[in-house]
Chains A and B, each alone.
Chain A
Amino acid sequence: MATCATLTLPLPDAQATARLGARLAPLLGRADVLLLEGAIGAGKTHFARALILARLAAVGRREDVPSPTFTLVQTYEAGDLEVWHADLYRLTRPDEIAELGLEEAFDSALCLVEWPDRMADLAPDTALRLSFRPDAGEGRVVTLTGPESRWAPVLARLANG
C-alpha cells in the first residue's frame, strides 16, 4: 500500500466544520473521492454541504443541498465538474453500489461518500478518508488520511491555515 499523508484538525464548532469543507472544495476535482466516516451527528453531512455549496458558489450557483439519507445519492453540477453526494447508510450489500452507479462516478465525478464502510473494499485506493469524532468537550476532531502522491500537497495547504 502507498505511503499515506495524514492530518488531524480540531473542529471546535459547526462553523469550523463548514469552513474546512469550503477550504477543501477548490482543491478537489474529477475522480477525487472523499470517504466521510463518523457516527450520526458527527458533522459528515454538514461538512459535505459546505463543500458542495462552496463549489457551486464558485460557478455562481446556489442550490439546496438536502441530506442524501433517503435518496441515497444527490448529484450537482458545478460548472464542468459533476459532484456526487452519497449516503450508503441504508445499503445492506456491497453489490448495491453497482446499482447506484457509484463505481463509474468514482472515475468521472467528485464523490463525497458517507458511511463508506457499507461498500467494503470497493472504495478506490486513491480516496481521502475523513474520520470525524467527538473531542473531549462539545466540538469534534477530524483526521484526514490519503495516499501521499495525491493528498500530501492538499493536506499541507489545509495545515497552513
Chain B
Amino acid sequence: MLGLAPDSATHRKALRNLLQATLLILGVTFISFLLMVYFGPDQTYTLIGKNATPQQIAEVRHQLGYDQPFFQRYGQFLASLFTLDLGVSHSTGEQVRTILARSLPVSLALVIPGFILGNLIGLLLGMAAAWQSGRWLDRLITTLSVSTMSISFLIIVIALQIVLCTPYGLNLFPARGWNVSGLSSYLYYVAVPTLALILTNAGYSARFYRAVFVQEAGREHIRVARAYGASPFTLMTVHVLKNSLLAVLTRIMFSLPLVLVSGSLLLETYFGIPGIGKVTFDAITNGDQPLLLAVVGLTAVLFVLVSLLADVAYRLADPRIR
C-alpha cells in the first residue's frame, strides 16, 4: 500500500543507494583521514619524555604508525571501521570499542530528551508563529528565538549552572556529575543539560519551522480548507504540518549526528559527564588518533545511514516519492 513492494525498480534504486552510500563513506573517510594525518594532532611530542633523543622520537613515531605510507594507514583505518576492531587508544591503552561502548549510551541519554523537547517546542512555536504570521505573537516568538540564538551556548550553560546549581542561585541540581542509578537520579542529572539544549535548539527550530509553515500556509489548498471552516488546529496539524513533513524530517534526522557529537561536547565538558563528546574533546586535545579517527569515521557512517534512512522516511511520509 505504501509503494514498498519489491520490484526491479526498487532493487535498482536500493542498489544505487548502496553504491552511493559506499562511495560517500569512502569519500568522507578519505577526506577526514587526510585532514587528520596532515593537519591533525601529532601525539609524538606529548608522549615523549623530557630530553628525548631523535632515536626515541623515531621509536615513538614508529609505534604510533606515523612512519607508515599514507595509503597503508588509510587501508588499515577502513579495515578497522569495517571490522569494528578500532584498535587501542594511544592515551589510555583501552580498546577504542570499549571506550565508545561506555560513552555512547551516556551521550544518548544526555542529549535525546533535550533534542526531542527542543524540536517539539520549536515545532509548536513555529506553528503558532506561522498561524499568527505578522502579528504580535509571531513577533514575540521571533524575537525570543533570535535572542536565544544570539546567546552563546557556553554562556547559557554557565548561567544555568549558576542559577540552578549553586548557592548563588537556587542550588536545586548538581553542577556536575553523572551518577545515574535509576530514573530519579537520571532526571536529577539530566535536567539542567536538557534545559540548556532546549534553550539553544528551540530558537533555531522555531525560526526554521516557522519559515516552512508560513510558506505552506500560503498555499491554495490551505486557503480552501480555511474557507471550508477547518479549525486552526486542524489546519496547522493535518494540512500544514503533514505537507511540511519532508522539511521537518530532514532537519531532525540530519541534526541528530551533529547534536550527538558536537552538541554534547560542551555539555559533557562543563557538567563532567563521561560521554562521547568529552571523549572526542579529550582525543583532540591529547592527539589520540585511533579514538579520534573512530569517532570521525563512525560519525561519517552515521551520516550516510541517516541519509539512507531519510530516503525511507521520505517515502513513508510521502508515497509519491519513488
Decide if A and B are genuine partners: no
Q: Which residues of B contact A (CB under 8 A)?
A: none
Listed in ascending order, the chain A residues whose CB lies under 8 Å from chain B are none
